[in-house]
Amino acid sequence: DLAGLDFKITMSVGRESGTWMDKSWAASGARLLLPLQCSFTGDELDLGFPGEEALAGRYCRRLDCEGGSFVGPGGTVTVACDGGGWWAAPTGRPGEQSLRFFLDFPAGAERNDVSIPPGRVFFSSALLNGDADDAYDVPASEIYEARGGLKLLNSGGLTIKKNTLLNLWGALGDVNLILGRYSLSGGKTAEAAERTASEASPE
């Protein structure tokens, strides 16, 4: 269970193969890198009707995040975030669960021709709970092992929704646009534990 764990999630926003973002968006090949400290909680979050298709309904668990910053051409840019939600569900494959979460950026962010549009950004990943190392076909280099032995993918994709009249504003299923990728590493708790271990080790 992810509840009680915190992670550093670094968004790498930019043009990816297959995206349906406007042709002028991130056409220069530039990236917007945004590191975020996120805490997964066990508290229930009511998204209201009809909920989120990506999270399989109206209810999920709360994801805490206070935003982050990056260095732009004019200096440091602070990016506000209202937190978000997360949900994990079995995929049908042994030792594997899909992990979906989102963060809300009320004002978005922009760096040159790359932008995070105001609104909700979705993250995709997987939890790998197999008892044996060969329980899933994923290289060890792509796995992050969290506190308590929980394993999950250390990177994944970013998307946003763009529903229009063509899909009846989502009634026929969401239209998702690729926004970039993200990487995951230990958060404040893991960093503090590493510092404690380093200070306790003999020289």
Please tell me the predicted confidence (pLDDT) of residue 122.
Answer: 96
Judged on CB neighbours under 10 Å (0-12, 13-18, 19+), 12 is: middle
**Please, what is the average pLDDT of the chain?**
85
Mean pLDDT highest for which of 109-118, 157-166, 189-198?
109-118
Please tell me the predicted confidence (pLDDT) of residue 193.
Answer: 45
With a pLDDT cut of 70, the percent of the chain lying above it is 82
| Residues 55 and 47 sit within 8 Å (Cβ to Cβ) | yes
Whether 49 has a pLDDT exceeding 60, the answer reads yes
Q: Residue type for 76, please?
A: T
Please tell me the predicted confidence (pLDDT) of residue 23.
Answer: 93
Residue 111: CB partners within 8 Å, gap ≥ 6? 30, 32, 70, 72, 73, 77
3-state secondary structure of 147: helix
3-state secondary structure of 26: coil
Tens digit of pLDDT for each residue in 127-159?
987 554 555 678 888 999 988 788 999 999 999
Mean pLDDT of 30-55: 93
CA gap 147, 177 in Å, rounded: 33
Which pLDDT band holds residue 163 (cuts at 50, 70, 90)? Answer: low
Please tell me the predicted confidence (pLDDT) of residue 46.
Answer: 95
Which pLDDT band holds residue 201 (cuts at 50, 70, 90)? Answer: low
CA gap 1, 14 in Å, rounded: 31
Count of residues making up the chain: 203
Predicted model pTM: 0.86
Which pLDDT band holds residue 55 (cuts at 50, 70, 90)? Answer: confident
Question: Could you tell me which residue, 193 or 114, shows the higher pLDDT?
Answer: 114
Mean pLDDT of 20-41: 95
User: Strand runs (DSSP E) across 91-140, as ranges?
Assistant: 96-105, 109-111, 114-116, 119-128
